[in-house]
Chain A
Amino acid sequence: MVRRVDPDSRRFRDIVRGKIRENLKHYISRGELIARQGKNSVSVPLPQIDIPNFRFGKPEQGGVGQGPGEEGQPIGGEEAEAGPEAGDQPGEHVLEVDVSLEELAEILGEELELPNIEPKGTDSVHTMKERYTGIDSQGPESLRHFKRTFKAALKRQIQTGVYDPKNPIIIPMRDDRRYRSWKTQSIPQSNAVIIYMMDVSGSMGNEQKEIVRIESFWLDTWLKSQYENIETRYIIHDAAAKVVDAHTFFNVRESGGTKISSAYKLAKEVIEKEFPPSEWNIYPFHFSDGDNWGGDDTTLCMDILNEQLMPWSNVFCYGQVKSAYGSGQFIKDLREAFPDDDRMILSEINSRDEILNSLKTFLGKGR
C-alpha cells in the first residue's frame, strides 16, 4: 500500500541522512537526545529541518503565560507549543515523555537501528531454574491446587451420578487431589559487565564529563535491555586508577597527569577477580581526551590490551572526548596498534551532537 505521504517522507529521510540536498544539512537539528529530568523522563530524538526565515532571537523575547506563582519565580519549562491539534506554529521539537527504561532502550534501538547483541557463552553457562509447569496427582499438600481438585471431584460425581444440581455439594476424595508440579530447567545464562573507565585528569572539564555521563547512560540502558544480569564497575584514573561508585565517577574532578595503563591494569585485575571471561560478556568502555603521559605508558597500554583485555572482551570501546587541553594522540596510537581489528571500536566525540553517532558506532556491530 503506497500512501500519498510516502514519497515526501522518503525524501525527508534522505535529506536527513545526507544523501541529497547538501545545502540543507546545516539546518538539520538532531533533536535533544537526553533530558533525564524526573525519574525516567527522556526526550525522543526527532530530526527536524528548520528553514531559515526572519525571526526574533529567542531568549530575550519573553511573553505571556498563565498559572500561579510570584513575580520573579522561574516558570516551569520552556516555552512550548500548546493545543492538541496540528498547528501552523513551529514549536520546540523535543518531545518529553514518560517511558520505562525498557521502552527507552527499544526506542533507542529503533532510532539508531541497533542490532540485538549476540551474547557469548550461552552454550557454556547454564543455570538451573525450577518452574511450575503442570499438574500432578501427587505432591505435597502445600502445593495442592484447589480449583483443579474440586473440578476433578465434580467430574467424578457427575460421572457416577452422585451430583445433584439442586444441592451442589462436592466432596473431593483422595484421588481427586491435584497438585502443582514443577520441572527443573536448564536456562542458558548470559551475564554482562560493563567496565567504565574515565580519564579524570585536569584536562577533562565539566563539559567532557557531561558527554561521558550522557553517553554512559545510553550505553547502560541499551546493554541492560540486552542482558538480564548486568554489572557495572567504574574506574577513574589520572596517574593512578581506582574503582569508585557511580556517583563519584561522574562528579569527581581530579587533576594531574595521565597514565592510561593504570586504568587498564586495574580493569584487568577486576576482571580476573570477579568476572571470569569464559562466563561473562565483558564490555570495557574507556573515555579520555586522548592525552597520555609519555610513549612508554602507551606501549604498556597496548600490551595489556593485546594480551588480556581484548581477547577477554566482547568488544573494547574507546571514546575520545574533545577537550581544549588534550592532544588527542591516544586514538591515533590505538588506530595504529590495532588496524582493522573489529574487537576494538573507536569513536571521537567532539560535541554533544555527536553522541548519537558515537553510540551507533559503539553498539552498531551487535557484539
Chain B
Amino acid sequence: MFENRQLTPRLEELRTQIRAYAVDFGLDFFEVIYELVDYDEMNMIASYGGFPTRYPHWRFGMQFEELQKSYSYGLSKIYELVINNDPCYAYLMRSNPEVDQKLVMSHVYGHSDFFKNNYWFSKTNRKMVDEMANHAVRVRRHIDKYGLDEVEQFIDVCLSLENLVDPHAPYFGEHKTSSEESREEQRLAATGTKFRTKPYMEEFVNPPQVLAAEKEVRLKELDREERFPAKPQRDVLTFLINHAPLRHWQRDVLEIIRDEAYYFAPQGMTKIMNEGWASFWHSKIMTTKALDSTEIIDYADHHSGTMGTRPGVLNPYKVGIELFRDIEERWNTGRFGPEYDACDDYSKRQSWDLKLGLGREKIFEVRKIYNDITFIDEYLTPEFCNQSQLFTYKFDRHAGNYVIDSREFKSIKEKLLDSLSNMGRPVINVDDGNFKNRGDLHMTHQYQGVPLKLDYARATLENIHKIWSRGVHLETEVDGKRKLLSYNGSRHEEKVLG
C-alpha cells in the first residue's frame, strides 16, 4: 500500500526544468509537492476532494465507485489533481506518458500561482491538509462516542444545508454586535453624522433637517435590530451554529461542514478563471519551452481534448483560456478604453494596434483581483462571444428538449452571470429566528425567475427542522405566486401569500 510516491529521477529532472520555466514567466506559486500515484489511488484521493485524510462518510465511497467505474469503462480519467494548500500538493498518474506529466506539471504551477495570488483565495486556510485531518479526528471521536449511524445521519442533514453559506462573508470584517452598549444608550446617542466645520458654516454644512432625518433612520435601524437576526442573514449555517439548540458534538460537526464549505467556495467562484489561467500557462510553457518535437502530436491531442466543447456545454477550461488570451491581445494592441470603444469603423478596429505591450502585465493583474462573475462582467466582449460561438439555450416544453435561444451579446452575458451568481444555487436568507413570536425559523428565497425544485425544498426543510427543532418556513415563488412552505415536524403546509 505505502508504495513509494516520490517522483522518479527523470520526473524530478522534468519538474526542476518546468519549475524554472514557470518562474521565468513570472509565476509566483506555493511550492508544489508532486506525488506519483496509481489510478485507484488517484480516484481515491479525488473522491475525498483531494484530502485522503478526510472524515469517513459514505458519499466519498460513492464518488470513488463512480470514478472507478468510469475509469474502467474507459469513460474518463483524472488528469490533474491539485490541492490549495501551502505547500500545494499535486498528484501525477504513474502510468501517464512523459508528455502528459509535463503538461500536468505546467498546469499545476498555474493553479498554484492562482491559489497564492487570487484575492478570493486569500481567506482560505493554507494548512487545510492538516485542518482536514483534524476534522477527521474530531468526527471519529464523535463516532466512537455516539455511534456511526447517529453521527452519519447528522452529517447527512448538515450536507443538505452545505450550500447555505455566504461566499462573500469572509471578505467583510466581523459583524459588530451592538450588545456592548445598552440599547437605551444607543438610542440617546443616535444623531446624524456631523462634519467638522467653522461655526459660521455650521448651518450649511450640517443642515438641521438633514441631521433630523438621519437620526430618524438610525432609530428605525435600532428598532429593527431588536429583531433577530437584525439583518437578513445569508450565512444560514452560521446562524444555525450560533442559535440552534444543538448538542455539543452536533455543533462541532456543523462547524466542520461549514468550514469545509467555505474552504471550497472560492474554487466554485473562480472555476473559469482558475482553469483558464492554468491552461493558459500549460499551453505557454509547453509550446514555447518544455515540449519535445516528438511529443507535439500527443500534446496537441490532449490539449484539445481538455479544451473540447460539446454543444450545450460550456467548458470552463476553454472559455477561461480564450478570455485570458483575448485580454492579453487587447492590452498588447491597446484595444480598450474610450477611444477604441468610440471607434465604429470596422476595418480600423480590426487593424487597431497601439503596440502597448501591456498584455502580460494586465493578465497578472486580472488573475489577482477578479472572480468569475467580475471577470465575465468586465472582459466578455461581443467580439469574443461571436468568435467563440456562444449562445444561450432554454428548455422547449413542446419539443421536450433544449434549444438555442439567442446569440445576442446582452442575453448571453446576462445568462452567464446569472448562472455564475451564487455558483448557480438559489440565494436563501434567514430573516426571522422568532417567526410568529414562537421561535419558528423564517427564510426567504431571493426569487430571480427560476423556481426551486419543490420536493427537494421540502426535504431540505425537514432537515433544517432537525437542526432548528421548531417550525421552519420558506418563502418562495411557485407558479408566479408568493408562497410560504412550512414544516412543523410532522407535516408540510403551503400557503399563498397575499
Contact = CB atoms under 8 A, between A and B. Distances in A.
Does B associate with A?
yes
B445 A83 contact: no
A23 B404 contact: no
A84 B78 contact: yes
B79 interface: yes
A67 B275 contact: no
B256 interface: no
Interface size class of A (residues with CB under 8 A): 35 or more
A13 B313 contact: no
A63 interface: yes
A62 B47 CA distance: 29
B163 A88 contact: no
B452 A76 contact: no
Interface size class of B (residues with CB under 8 A): 35 or more
B206 interface: no
Nearest to A69: B404
Contacts of B456: 52-55
Contact of B78 (A51, A86, A95): A86
Interface string B24-36: 0000000000000
Given A54-B426, A95-B73, A86 B401 contact: no
B49 interface: yes
A82 B58 contact: no
A347 B407 CA distance: 51
Given A63-B415, A66-B313, A78-B402, A54 B428 contact: yes
B35 to A, nearest CB: 15
Interface stretch (A41-49, A152-160, A337-345): A41-49
Interface string B424-437: 11101000000000
A45 B445 CA distance: 35
B133 to A, nearest CB: 12
A134 interface: no
B197 interface: no
A15 B309 contact: no
Contacts of A12: 58-59, 61-62, 65
Contacts of B130: none
A70 B451 CA distance: 28
Given A53-B460, A72-B404, A67 B77 contact: no
B467 interface: no
Contacts of B81: 85-86
B70 interface: yes
A75 B402 contact: yes
A9 B405 contact: no
Contacts of A2: 1
B314 A65 contact: yes
A55 B393 contact: no
Interface centre among A54, A77, A85, by most chain B C-beta atoms within 10 angstroms, is A54
A65 B156 contact: no
A12 B152 CA distance: 12
A12 B65 CA distance: 9
Contacts of A58: 453
Interface in A327-359: none
A93 B305 CA distance: 21
Contact of A63 (B62, B65, B76, B314): B314
Given A51-B156, A83-B317, A84-B78, A11 B58 contact: yes
Given A85-B78, A95-B70, A95-B73, A73 B419 contact: no
A64 B415 contact: yes
A132 interface: no
Interface string A86-99: 11110001010101
B388 interface: yes
B412 A64 contact: yes
Given A11-B58, A12-B58, A70-B404, A60 B395 contact: yes
A44 B69 contact: yes
Interface in B73-97: 73-81
Contact of A69 (B311, B415, B460): B311
A83 B388 CA distance: 17
A55 to B, nearest CB: 5
A351 to B, nearest CB: 17
A66 B322 CA distance: 13
Nearest to B376: A64
A56 B310 contact: no
A80 interface: yes
B60 interface: yes
B191 interface: no
Contacts of A74: 396, 399, 401-404
B6 interface: no
A128 interface: no
Given A54-B460, A57-B450, A86-B78, A8 B61 contact: yes
B239 to A, nearest CB: 15
Contacts of B331: none
A11 B314 CA distance: 35
Given A59-B395, A71-B405, A88-B267, A51 B59 contact: yes
A73 B403 contact: yes
A21 B56 CA distance: 16
A38 interface: no
A23 B388 contact: no
Contact of B61 (A5, A95, A107): A5
A65 B57 contact: no
B391 A69 contact: yes
A219 B386 CA distance: 49
Contacts of A5: 44, 47-48, 60-61, 64
A59 B62 CA distance: 26
Given A53-B162, A56-B450, A75-B393, A48 B62 contact: yes
B372 to A, nearest CB: 12
Contacts of A252: none
A244 interface: no
Contacts of B309: 66-67
A10 interface: yes
A79 B163 CA distance: 21
A61 B395 contact: yes
A143 interface: no
Contacts of B246: none
B333 interface: no
Nearest to B420: A64
5 contacts: A3-B44, A8-B59, A11-B152, A53-B161, A53-B460
The 6 nearest A-B residue pairs measured at CB = A8-B61, A9-B61, A12-B61, A52-B459, A75-B312, A67-B311
Given A8-B59, A79-B312, 6 more contacts: A8-B58, A9-B65, A44-B73, A77-B311, A86-B67, A86-B81
Interface of A: 1-5, 7-13, 15, 20-21, 23-24, 44, 46, 48-49, 51-89, 93, 95, 97, 99, 107
